[in-house]
Amino acid sequence: MLKRLMSYGDLVSMRKSYDKKHKRDTVKVSICMTGCRALGAEEVYDEFRKQVKKQKLQNKIEVVETGCQGLCARAPVMTIDPPGIFYGRVTTGIVPDIISSTVLKGEVINKLCYAEAGKKIPYIKDIPFYSKQKKIVLRNCGIIDPKNIEQYIARKGYEAFAMALLDVDPNYVINEIKNSGLRGRGGAGFPTGLKWEFCRKAKSDTKYIICNADEGDPGAFMDRAVLEGDPHAVIEGMLIAARAIGSEKGFIYVRAEYPIAVDHLKNAIAQARELNLLGNNILGTRFNFDLEIKMGAGAFVCGEETALIASIEGKRGMPRPRPPFPANSGLWNKPTNINNVETLANIPVILSNGSEWYKQLGTKNGTGTKIFALAGKVKNTGLVEVPMGTTLREIIFDIGGGIPGRREFKAAQMGGPSGGCVPAEHLDLPIDYETVKEVGAIMGSGGLIVMDSDTSMVDISRYFMDFVQDESCGKCVPCRVGTKKMLDILTRITEGNGCRSDIEDLKEMAYVTKTASLCGLGQTAPNPVLSTIRYFMNEYEDLLKTGS
């Protein structure tokens, strides 16, 4: 049973006492127990616990289950600290060896190490995948046990919120977020501080905060990792937003397809309530705020804010025209602030380190960092956080280790079904919201799928159109019919039955769908088609030639 926190001092003393309790000469073995579960992490974890007990090493080894450690390609992964060794592809059979050689003697087991160009790299600090990243949002992910609030507090968790609640007034918080330049990480890139200000200024007795965790883009798993690996960072972000805006009730709308994330969130909310960080009279003040989880039911369009609101209200998730914007009239027609998971996880860091510090990271148009879910034809698939302005080449080749086999890089798909394919000629482009838009993609939520010379770009374009056509809610004609027409044409072309006029028809249909659709889904649906026509017209032509 945890003690209720009644003041800022209580929070600080909880941190200090945790530090004291855990400052022992133990070796910490951190095992990823989220994404890595798919490749046997649970069995490895159980074996570790068993061996530690059997060999009576409880005073020497601390086994911690963590969230995503990033290098998913090597799953199941673990970190042994000290001395900071990273192991991948761990099996239950080798656990006794790891304990006897690495944990107790500090010796390296070569075959478990990450290798590059034939060279084994045992220490995490030397692995380029890690050394070139900047972990702000993922500061705790893969380090703490996400199911233990004390470990979050031990890393100064909830202290930014305590400051926002006790030391400064809401306008200061909003100004800090505005000044930091933070923009929405869900894809659209709207300035977060401005959004908060609109909602604060809206007059109403009731206001709501929503965390959009409906990560629906195929190829994106950043939010999943944050929710699973550091759920308290999101809750703290929501608390700060609630304090700034003047809200007492929040919702987290999360995909039902993410069972571990839901589980960790539920647990985190329960622990925060127990500690008096959620509920009434938080930290002994008159501030009240509580959270509820709403599970999505499998509709991509619910990532759109007005559709998401309809879904929380218990209706079909269909968007409605804006204005009025949710900041003025959202959930049950009350002012509502909606932020994405990654955006919210940025908030506590900005507040504790200051907006000036945050602005030093990234570019003028895009401050801070961005998490990318690196997947597809790339060696080091996984979760990557880099400062804005990092180039695609650095992400794919330096961090990602390049393309497997002897094939060549062809394109990087950014922004999922709303984005586009960035070709090799733009590999050195510093990534921020505007630069990515200029080359025909969007920053999006952070899905980054690498494609090599084997991938047909026309097929990719058809693939995304198939997806959005399926997910179009059908409310407005341009999206409902436009996506269907474009899909018909693309299918025809990929099957070798296309004709010359198809390209012009596609472009025209794309223009109409983009300009006349009601919501973001339709307005961005043609992007994959337009970007592949722009950069890979030769592939369309080849298919048209083989046809009639």
Partner 1 sequence: MKEKTIDLRPVKRIVSGYGNDKDSNLIAILQQTQDNYGYLPKQALKEVSRLMDVPLTRIFGIVTFYSQFTLIPRGRHAIKICTGTACHVKGVNEVKQKVKDQLNVVEGETTADYQFTLETVACIGTCFLAPVMMVDDRYFGKLTTDTVTDIVDRYTGDNN
Check if the beta carbon of residue 283 is closer than 8 Å to that of residue 224: no
- The verdict on 224 binding partner 1 (CB under 8 A) reads yes
Give the pair of three-digit tokens for residue 10: 């209580």
Query: Could you tell me which stretch among 56-64, 116-124, 129-137, 309-317 binds partner 1 (CB under 8 A)?
Result: 309-317
Helices marked H in 111-204:
128-131, 149-154, 159-166, 170-180, 192-201
Smaller CB distance to partner 1: residue 326 or 447? 447
Q: Which structure tokens are listed for 81?
A: 């600290």
Please identify which residue in 373, 439, 443, 465 interacts with partner 1, judged by CB under 8 A. Answer: 373
Q: Decide if residue 463 touches partner 1 (CB under 8 A).
A: yes
- 405 binding partner 1? (CB under 8 A): no
Among residues 69, 102, 381, 494, the one that binds partner 1 under rule CB under 8 A: 381
Asked if 63 interacts with partner 1 (CB under 8 A), we say: no
Q: Compute φ and ψ for 288, nearest 5 degrees.
A: -120, 140
What is the nearest approach in angstroms of partner 1 to the Cβ of residue 115? 18
- 542 Cβ partners below 8 Å, 6+ apart? none
Question: Closest separation between CB of residue 247 and partner 1, Å?
Answer: 17
Pick the piece of the chain touching partner 1 (CB under 8 A) from 79-87, 124-132, 220-228, 499-507. 220-228
Residue 416 contacts partner 1 per CB under 8 A: yes
Comparing CA positions, the residue from 239, 187, 233, 192 lying closest to residue 349 is 233
Pick the closer one to partner 1 by CB: 189 or 382. Answer: 382
If DSSP codes are grouped into helix, strand and coil, which group holds residue 3? coil
* 146: preceding bond cis by omega (within 30 degrees): no
In the bound complex, what is the minimum distance in angstroms from residue 508's beta carbon to partner 1? 26
When the beta carbons of 2 and 38 are compared against partner 1, the nearer one is 38
Among 64, 95, 312, 465, binds partner 1 (CB under 8 A): 312
**Tally of CA atoms within 13 A in the half-sphere of 434 that contains its CB:** 6
Number of residues that bind partner 1 (CB under 8 A): 52
Q: 91 or 515, CB closer to partner 1?
A: 91
Measure the CA angle with vertex 439, ends 346 and 381; round to 5°. Answer: 55
Could you give the angle at the alpha carbon of 476 between the alpha carbons of 506 and 522, nearest 5°?
A: 45
Closest approach, Cβ 164 to partner 1, in A, equals 29
Closest CA to 283 of 3, 4, 2: 4
Residue selected from 2, 256, 270, 499 as contacting partner 1 according to rule CB under 8 A: 256
Among 145, 197, 215, 502, which residue interacts with partner 1 (rule: CB under 8 A)? Answer: 215
Candidate segments 69-77, 146-154, 272-280, 435-443, binder of partner 1 by CB under 8 A: 69-77
Nearer to partner 1, 347 or 412 (CB): 412
Tell me the window of 70-78, 105-113, 138-146, 390-398 that interacts with partner 1 (CB under 8 A): 70-78
Nearest distance in Å: CB 453, partner 1: 12
Q: How far is CA 295 from CA 129, 259, 265, 302, in A?
A: 34, 10, 12, 11
Burial class (CB in 10 A: 0-12, 13-18, 19+), 538: exposed
Query: Is residue 155 within the footprint of partner 1 (CB under 8 A)?
Result: no
- Structure tokens that stand for 32 in this block: 């990823």
140, 247, 311, 363: which one binds partner 1 (CB under 8 A): 311
- Single out the residue of 147, 149, 144 nearest to residue 2, CA to CA: 149
Q: Which of residues 7-36 bind partner 1 (CB under 8 A)?
A: 35
Round to whole Å and give the CA distance between 362 and 393.
16
Cα dist. 85→36, 343, 379 in Å? 18, 31, 20
With contacts defined by CB under 8 A, name the span among 87-95, 152-160, 200-208, 456-464 that binds partner 1. 456-464
Minimum distance of partner 1 from residue 302's CB (angstroms): 9
Radius of gyration of the chain (CA): 24
Q: Is 277 within 8 Å of 158 (Cβ atoms)? A: yes
Residue of 10, 257, 274, 505 interacting with partner 1 (CB under 8 A): 257
Evaluate whether 170 touches 246 at the Cβ level (below 8 Å): yes
The nearer residue to partner 1, 151 or 494, going by C-beta atoms, is 494
75 touching partner 1, by CB under 8 A: yes
| 376 forms part of the interface with partner 1 (CB under 8 A) | yes
CA–chain centroid gap for 335, Å, is 26
Nearer to partner 1, 212 or 381 (CB): 381
Contact footprint for partner 1 (CB under 8 A): 35, 37-39, 72-73, 75, 215-221, 224, 256-259, 294-300, 311-318, 373, 375-377, 381-382, 413, 416, 447, 449, 451, 455, 460, 463-464, 467, 471, 473
